[in-house]
Structure 1
Amino acid sequence: MDNLLSNFSQETLWLLVVIYDLSLAIFLYRFFGKYGLYCAVVLGIVLGNLQGGKVSELNLLGMQFNVSMGAILYSGIYFATDLLNEKFGKDEANRAVMLGFVANIAVMLTLVLSTKFLPSDLTGSSAEVHNAISVLAYYSPIFIVGSLTAYLVSQRFDVWFFHYLKKLTNGKKLWLRNNLSTMASQLIDTLIYQFTWVLATDLTFTQAFAISIAKYVIKVFIALIDTIFIYWVRNWEIKS
């Protein structure tokens, strides 16, 4: 498997991961109903933040983009909350958002507590694992606060705006509310999180804005892809 994946270009891997992330959310929904979508949101926010510091370069449409794994793994979150909103109402979507928020805080606190246990000399890898956990646990506090703030504000807005557009269009034009709500909330998420880079690094507002535009373009691509998936599953009859 590792050798096979190594043969793919970065752009192909990006597309495969987006499809994998959305397919995982669909799998969870198919077999566990709305509770599976809760799980998809929790997985998305936790894995997205754990891997948010990993940045890769992609060449899309002749343009170079620096993309974090966090931005890719967030695709399943918006898909899950929009599907919850569409099928079960905004209260269920907001419940999933808050579950993700609490789960992410719990994971970060658990990682911090884990670093207080000194590694054993019994195995040679123990110190390496300890150091790896320490890197994740003590990633810049400003980034952690910024990420959590961006997630909560943007997701709550996404749920509200999706529901508002659904009422405005009398339940029609799913493609419109799915894309508009996701793109608007992704813009909010990107701007809030990128602002933390200005606070935590030497980036200027101009540089941070340029980076945020590149990240946002990637997120728009993902939003367009997930529209196909939400149309596919919206009429499934699922027992929760």
Structure 2
Amino acid sequence: MKIKDMATLDLTRYPNELLWLLLLTANFLAILIAYKSFGKTGLYIWIPISTILANIQVLKMVDLFSIGVTLGNITYASSFLATDILSENYQKRDAGKAVLIGFFSLFSTVIIMHIALAFKPNDADFIQDSFTRIFGLLPRIALGSLIAYGVAQFHDVWAYDFWKKRFPAAKFIWLRNNASTMLSQLLDTLIFTTIAFWGMVETNVFLEILTTTYLVKWLVAIADTPFIYIAKIMFDRNWINNDS
């Protein structure tokens, strides 16, 4: 494939299910690359990336296996992988710091983008309407995300540490990873979906979003298990650059 062809690569011809797997892989590989390249700092970098992107992507509805779901679940759920790697390879306080970084990044995005929206656009401007459609809804999305993010992420950090103390052996990484993340994802889904979508969509649509959102996050939690083992191997074999 020529470079000029890559620039115009059209992925819309692929089914959503294949694109979902591609997005899943891209997110998890990005975390490992960031971790390999920048160490602990790379995981901190990923947190605001995933938080901001997920809160934009969540506004888009897509069909997966004939079920309507909100986009953004993979990217948002990937932040749990980042904090779990911090909990596994470092300390509880390192994972807690990542959660606070996520709070700050989302709050800053909401404030700065609303100031940007307040500017009167030039007559030649063509992006204001699109900006308004995306970031005009962001405060409610962001409020739901901030509350859900805080409850779920701090629970995840606590739960991972709880299970790690009781099952410290490396062979139980899968247990502490999934036991902490799956319940945390349930808390996140209940809180976020209620704040972000209750009253904005019909009840049956709301329940569908609630159910399918958790199902997708549950699947992502299972899928990220091999990647936390890879991150553990990278750490144990000192393959991490610029670690601190």
TM beyond 0.5: yes
Cα distance in 2 between the residues matched to 1:130 and 1:110: 15
Q: Which residue of 1 aligns with 2:102?
A: 100
- Give the superposed CA RMSD: 1.8
Deviations 1:160-214 (A, max 9, x none): 001100001124400001111111111001111122256432543x763443122
The residue type paired with residue 120 of structure 1 is N
Percent of matched pairs sharing the same residue: 33
Q: C-alpha deviations, 1:68-119, integer Å up to 9, x for none?
A: 2221211320110000110111100010011011111101111100012111
For structure 1, the 5+ residue unaligned runs are: none
Judge which range, 214-223 or 21-30, deviates more.
Answer: 214-223
Q: Are the aligned partners of 2:43 and 2:82 in contact in 1 as well (CA < 8 Å)?
A: yes
| Aligned mates of 1:174, 1:138 — CA distance in 2 | 41
1:118 maps to amino acid: K
Q: TM-score, normalised by structure 1?
A: 0.90
* Residue number in structure 1 paired with 2:69: 67
Q: Distance in 1 between matches of 2:135 and 2:196?
A: 18
Kindly indicate whether structure 1 or structure 2 has the higher relative contact order, using CA contacts under 8 Å at least 6 residues apart.
2
Please tell me the residue identity of whatever aligns with 2:100.
M
Which residue matches 2:184? 185
Map of 2:227 onto structure 1 = 229
| Distance change (3 Å), C-alpha of 1:36 and 1:183 | same
1:38 alignment partner, one of 44, 47, 52: 44
Q: Which runs of 5+ in 2 are unaligned?
A: 1-5
Which residue number corresponds to residue 3 of structure 2?
A: none
Q: How many residues align?
A: 231
The TM-score with structure 2 as length reference comes to 0.88
Deviating above 6 A after TM superposition, structure 1's stretches of 4 or more consecutive aligned residues are none
Given the alignment of the two structures, is residue 50 of structure 1 paired with residue 56 of structure 2, yes or no? yes
**Is 1:133–2:135 an aligned residue pair?**
no
Distance 1:208 1:116, change over 3 A: closer
Distance in 1 (CA, whole Å) between partners of 2:227 and 2:98 is 19
Which residue of the partner structure matches residue 77 of structure 1? 79
Cα displacement (A) at 1:232: 1.3
